[in-house]
Amino acid sequence: MFPFTAIVGQELMKKALILNVIDPGIGGVLVKGEKGTAKSTTIRALEQILPPVTHIKDCPFHCDPRQPEKYCPYCAEKYVDSKPETTVSPMKVVELPLSATEDRVAGTLDLEAVLQTGKKKFEPGILAQANGNLLYVDEINLLEDYIVDMLLDSAAMGVNYIEREGVSFTHPAKFVLVGSMNPEEGDLRPQLLDRFGMSVEVKGEKKMGVRTEVVSRRLEFDLDPYSFIDKYKEESEALAKKIVEAKNLIKEIETDRKIIEMAARLSLYFGMEGHRADITMIRSARANAAYEGRTVVTKEDLEAIAPLVLAHRLKKKPFEKTGEYDLSDVHKCLEDL
């Protein structure tokens, strides 16, 4: 797998992905761009720097031992009066294929077993695998709308709810949702776009030196992958450590009311509907501060993350390109504060 730290350019995409790993509550990332811009390569390479996750041993849903109120039915029954045995696993990237059916995604209830034994038997789906991990959907704009709705609902609530013939089953499904797409193949509905915490538009590099470096690194990797990976091992380990430290540090960050007012001003200035953009900007700014090793959120944090949070939520006129606006407007909106 191509090292995350060896990817040339695409800094906004990398920043958006890292901030969502630090705080999954941001709401995920939608990566839009032309083919051949390292979208899938970058997302899959994230697995090398993802932090470890503690979960209950042998639980098919990877229940978090620190949140007994969110246990799956199996763990809730098994650990009523005892502490569960835990294990630590590296966070991973779980991919959802375009051909996945609703049952494959959400899981299935074995109704025959319920009728015969009186006990619920559930076959876990992709959402169960994704709990505590990162769920990646390539070409998400080609996925059926009802599947996308299901993914976004689970990502927002942290729970997967299945009901068949009056029999229901619930299990935790908290994950970082990352989708990628080529706008030339169609777009997502505005209602679905707004559900993503961040979006970033990636383009091919236009500078000769950068394009040359992209090709050189790819050829070097193809020639000897193991040596190439080893070359970036120290840098990858340092970034992974920085992410873990940021996840711990973010718990100590308090948000000043002035920062909240700045986020509200940005939302009003750019005509945001509802309050989702405001909340996402605050969470993203906190994650950005933690990533830079600070416990205080500044105006610069908001300016850094605002394009990622606002671009896909802007109202557009017919036939106008989406996701593009002048970044200087963000600074202009906040310059007198």
Rounded to whole angstroms, how far apart are CA atoms 27 and 4?
A: 21
Rounded to whole angstroms, how far apart are CA atoms 243 and 331?
A: 27
Catalytic site positions? 276
Residue 279 contacts by C-beta under 8 Å, 6 or more apart in sequence? none
Rounded to whole angstroms, how far apart are CA atoms 160 and 173?
A: 6
Predicted local confidence at residue 322, as pLDDT: 45
Q: Are strands 29-33 and 176-181 parallel, antiparallel or unpaired?
A: parallel
Query: Quick check: 262 and 337 in contact, CB under 8 A?
Result: yes
| Between residues 38 and 50, the one the model is more confident about | 50
Contacts 24+ apart (CB under 8 A), 137-140: 137/95, 137/96, 137/177, 137/178, 137/179, 137/180, 138/39, 138/40, 138/95, 138/98, 138/179, 138/180, 139/98, 139/180, 139/181, 139/182, 139/185, 140/30, 140/179, 140/180, 140/181, 140/188
Taking only the tens place, the pLDDT of each residue in 66-99 is 888 888 888 888 888 888 889 998 889 999 888 8
Check whether 318 has a pLDDT greater than 50.
no
Taking only the tens place, the pLDDT of each residue in 139-166 is 888 888 788 888 888 888 888 888 776 6
Four-point Cα dihedral 160, 142, 327, 325, nearest 10: -130
Residue 43 contacts by C-beta under 8 Å, 6 or more apart in sequence? 17, 31, 93, 136, 178, 180
Q: Give the number of C-alpha atoms closer than 13 A to the C-alpha of residue 304, restricted to the C-beta side.
A: 21
Query: Quick check: 65 and 72 in contact, CB under 8 A?
Result: no
Helices 276-291, 233-249: crossing angle, 10 deg rounding: 120
Q: Which of 78-82, 134-138, 196-200 has the lowest mean pLDDT?
A: 78-82
Task: Return the SS3 of 131.
Answer: coil
With residues binned 3-state (H G I as helix, E B as strand, rest as coil), the percentages for the chain, rounded to 5, are: 50, 15, 35
The structure tokens 């949140």 sit at 67
Q: Which of 18-32, 188-202, 295-309 has the lowest mean pLDDT?
A: 188-202
**What count of residues does the chain have?**
337
Task: Return the SS3 of 295.
Answer: coil
Check whether 209 has a pLDDT greater than 90.
no
Q: Which of 201-205, 229-233, 248-252 has the lowest mean pLDDT?
A: 201-205
Check whether 241 has a pLDDT greater than 90.
yes
Query: Quick check: 20 and 197 in contact, CB under 8 A?
Result: yes
Task: Please give the mean pLDDT across all residues of the chain.
Answer: 84
Predicted local confidence at residue 145, as pLDDT: 79
DSSP H helices, 136-185, are 145-157
